[in-house]
Structure 1
Amino acid sequence: MNWIILIIAGLFEVAFASCLGKTKETTGNEMYMWYGGFLACLTVSMLLLMKATQTLPIGTAYAVWTGIGAVGTAIMGILVFKDPASFWRIFFLFTLIGSIIGLKAVSHEA
């Protein structure tokens, strides 16, 4: 169950990073709404990460959390913010995904 919580926490990390990206594109009240979304997603992400680390090793949990955030944010950047999608960028995203799966596979926690 804590692995699912950790994955959800990582998705909220993607959401708070995406909210920051949207603040660059907006002004006025809309910008403050994105900042509010950032704070809300940041809070949820941190609370879920804290919950997951109650049973998962901190090193593994933090690495998986940041990995999900990094991969998800890079994908959001490509799809939403028109970041470049070069061969090497995609290649290293796949190696990062493989590393996240590897950490889960070698973890001895439930």
Structure 2
Amino acid sequence: MGEFNPALAALHAAAGVDCSAFITAWNPFSSQQEPARNLSLQQALEQALQQRGLRWIGGVGQHPADAWPGEESLLVLGLTLDDARALGAQFGQNAIVWSGADALPQLILLR
């Protein structure tokens, strides 16, 4: 977080975008859900992104020093900060990670 990421900068350039967001639909409001529920929520997020014509790369969000289990997440290419905030709120997330043209990932708190 907050450090230039050359791989992200290269990905932005290759995809022809100047921003991206790392977002999940898992465990809304930090309330652990059953695996089937999390998968359903994540599929709904993917459908919302498909409807907007956005591209993404799958990943896992997990803090290296935290015991909270990893969550399936998506790096959404070309997602503006306002749209990323709206999607995070729609799916009950406390935060998202967003990066602009500077390729500096930032934790964006939503609540």
Range into which the TM-score falls when normalised by the shorter chain: 0.3 to 0.5
Q: Which protein, 1 or 2, shows the higher relative CO under an 8 Å CA cutoff with sep ≥ 6?
A: 2
More strand by share: 2
Rg comparison, structure with higher value? 1
Report the TM-score, using the length of structure 1 for normalisation: 0.33
More helix by share: 1
Report the TM-score, using the length of structure 2 for normalisation: 0.33
